[in-house]
Structure 1
Amino acid sequence: MSDHNDRYVFEAEWYDKIACMLKKFYLYYYSSDNTVELFDLKTRKTFLRRTTCDGIKAKDFYVGSVITIFSRCIKITGYADTCTKTKLEMQLQKVFVLLKPDVIDKMGEILKMIINYDFHIMNLKMIKLTVDDIAENCFIKKDIVDKTSVINYLISGPVVALELLGGNGITRWQELAGPEDSNHARLTAASSLRACYGKDEICNAVYGSKDTETVIQELQYFFPNSKSKNKGPKNTATLQNCTCCIIKPHAIQEKLVGAIIDDIQKAGYMIIAAQQFYVNPINSEEFLEIYKGVLPEYTAMVAELQSGPCIVLEVSCKDENPNIVADFRNLCGPMDPNIARQIRPNTLRAKYGKTKIQNAIHCSDLPEDGILEVEYFFKILDGI
Structure 2
Amino acid sequence: MPGENQEEQSSFIAEWYDTNASLIRRYMFLYYPKDGSIEMFDIKNHRTFLKRTKYDELRSEDLFVGSIITVYARQLRLVDYGDQYTARRLGSKKQKTLGVIKPSTDTKLGKLIDQIYSLGLVITRAKMINLTSDLLQYLSCGPAIALEILGDEAVSAWKKLIELGGANRAQSEESVRTLYGITDVRNNVYGSECAATAARELDVFFPSLGRGPLNTAKCVDCTLCIIKPHAIAEGLAGKILSTIEEMGFNYSALQMFNVERANAEEFLEVYKGVVAEYNSMVMELCSGPCLALELQGKEVQKSFRECCGPSDPCSGPLLDCRNSTCLCLALHSVSQRQM
Q: TM-score, normalised by structure 1?
A: 0.77
Give the strand-richer structure, 1 or 2: 2
> CA offsets, 1:28-52, max 9 Å, x none?
1234665432223455332333354
Offset of 1:218 from its aligned partner?
Answer: 0.6
**Partner AA of 2:267 in structure 1:** F
Aligned to 1:200: 183
How far apart in 1 are the matches of 2:143 and 2:292? 16
2:19 is the counterpart of 1:36: no
**Partner AA of 2:233 in structure 1:** Q
Aligned to 2:264: 284
Aligned to 1:50: 52
Contact preservation (8 Å) 2:68, 2:78: no
Q: Aligned pair in 2 of structure 1 residues 65, 195: CA closer, same or farther (>3 Å)?
A: same
Contact preservation (8 Å) 1:128, 1:159: yes
Q: Aligned pair in 2 of structure 1 residues 301, 19: CA closer, same or farther (>3 Å)?
A: farther
Q: Aligned pair in 2 of structure 1 residues 359, 13: CA closer, same or farther (>3 Å)?
A: farther
Aligned to 1:27: 29
Q: Aligned pair in 2 of structure 1 residues 195, 82: CA closer, same or farther (>3 Å)?
A: same
Aligned to 2:304: 328
**Partner AA of 2:133 in structure 1:** V
Q: Secondary structure at the match of 1:158?
A: strand
Aligned to 1:164: 149
Offset of 1:125 from its aligned partner?
Answer: 0.1
Offset of 1:299 from its aligned partner?
Answer: 1.9
Aligned to 1:184: 168
2:334 is the counterpart of 1:374: no
How far apart in 2 are the matches of 1:51 and 1:210? 42
Aligned to 1:238: 218
Contact preservation (8 Å) 1:64, 1:75: no
**Partner AA of 1:334 in structure 2:** P
> CA offsets, 1:232-251, max 9 Å, x none?
21211111111011111111
Offset of 1:61 from its aligned partner?
Answer: 1.5
How far apart in 2 are the matches of 1:277 and 1:283? 11
Query: What are structure 1's unaligned runs of at least 5 residues?
Result: 140-150, 337-355
Give the root-mean-square deviation of aligned CA atoms.
3.0
How far apart in 2 are the matches of 1:378 and 1:275? 7
Matches for 1:244-283 after TM superposition, within 5 Å: 244-283=224-263
How far apart in 2 are the matches of 1:324 and 1:45? 53
Query: Which of the two has higher C-alpha Rg?
Result: 1
How far apart in 1 are the matches of 2:284 and 2:202? 28
> CA offsets, 1:8-62, max 9 Å, x none?
2112356899999986431112346654322234553323333544364432321
How far apart in 1 are the matches of 2:315 and 2:68? 15
Q: Aligned pair in 2 of structure 1 residues 269, 103: CA closer, same or farther (>3 Å)?
A: closer
Identity percentage over the alignment? 36
**Partner AA of 1:77 in structure 2:** L
How far apart in 2 are the matches of 1:19 and 1:11? 20
How far apart in 1 are the matches of 2:11 and 2:255? 30
Total equivalences in the alignment: 334
Aligned to 2:76: 75
How far apart in 2 are the matches of 1:55 and 1:381? 23
Aligned to 1:353: none
**Partner AA of 1:39 in structure 2:** F
Offset of 1:73 from its aligned partner?
Answer: 5.7
Matches for 1:107-146 after TM superposition, within 5 Å: 107-135=109-137, 139=138
Aligned to 1:308: 288
Q: Aligned pair in 2 of structure 1 residues 39, 222: CA closer, same or farther (>3 Å)?
A: same
Q: Secondary structure at the match of 2:207?
A: coil
Q: Aligned pair in 2 of structure 1 residues 168, 80: CA closer, same or farther (>3 Å)?
A: closer
How far apart in 2 are the matches of 1:33 and 1:56? 11
Q: Secondary structure at the match of 1:185?
A: coil
How far apart in 1 are the matches of 2:90 and 2:126? 22
Offset of 1:197 from its aligned partner?
Answer: 2.6
Query: What are structure 2's unaligned runs of at least 5 residues?
Result: none
Q: Aligned pair in 2 of structure 1 residues 381, 315: CA closer, same or farther (>3 Å)?
A: same
Offset of 1:165 from its aligned partner?
Answer: 0.5
